[in-house]
């Protein structure tokens, strides 16, 4: 992965996970290795117990969820930059990718977005119950 490039880590019909390289040199031979992990998930009727997506939820969080995480390591010498990037991606795939691709992730992500939404106070508990935990 080269600076400012984007790499697809995972993709299926509803979920896309990409990694963008934001690394830069900050002093002499030392770099900040910085990778931004972006997870985009379409919200679909199958994520709910009810057949259709409740309008309350769609109006609160939209039709897609985007989760951004930045992973950084500072003080990396030039000779190790690519190795550190590879290690970060490997660790993400080993430790986090199974969570993002699990069958329970959509419901957890939707609930999290509802809680973060400014409109979440207006969503009834009954509506939230439409979420499934596959």
What is this structure's pTM? 0.81
Establish if 134 belongs to a structural domain.
no
8 Å CB contact between 108 and 65: no
How many contiguous H segments (helices) and E segments (strands) does the chain have?
A: 5, 5
pLDDT, averaged across the chain: 85
Task: Single out the residue of 101, 97, 82, 89 nearest to residue 35, CA to CA.
Answer: 89
Domain of 92? 6-128
Q: Give percent above pLDDT 90 in the chain.
A: 53
Euclidean distance between CA atoms 50 and 111, whole angstroms: 15
Query: Per-residue pLDDT averaged across 44-62, rounded?
Result: 72
Euclidean distance between CA atoms 44 and 85, whole angstroms: 33
Euclidean distance between CA atoms 16 and 100, whole angstroms: 10
Establish if 120 belongs to a structural domain.
yes
Establish if 92 belongs to a structural domain.
yes
Establish if 1 belongs to a structural domain.
no
Question: Is the model more confident about 134 or about 125?
Answer: 125
Of the pLDDT bands very low, low, confident and very high (cuts 50, 70, 90), residue 121 is: low
Query: Per-residue pLDDT averaged across 95-105, rounded?
Result: 93
Domain count, the chain: 1
């Amino acid at each position: 992965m080269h600076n400012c490039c984007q790499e697809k880590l995972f993709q299926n019909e509803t979920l896309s996970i990409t990694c963008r390289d934001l690394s830069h040199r900050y002093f002499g031979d030392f770099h900040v290795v910085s990778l931004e992990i972006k997870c985009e998930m379409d919200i679909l009727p199958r994520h709910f117990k009810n057949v259709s997506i409740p309008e309350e939820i769609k109006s609160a969080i939209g039709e897609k969820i985007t989760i951004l995480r930045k992973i950084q390591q500072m003080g990396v010498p030039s000779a190790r930059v690519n190795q550190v990037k590879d290690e970060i991606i490997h660790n993400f795939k080993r430790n986090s990718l199974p969570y993002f691709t699990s069958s329970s992730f959509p419901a957890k992500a939707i609930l999290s977005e509802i809680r973060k939404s400014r409109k979440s106070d207006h969503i009834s508990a009954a509506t939230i119950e439409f979420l499934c935990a596959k």
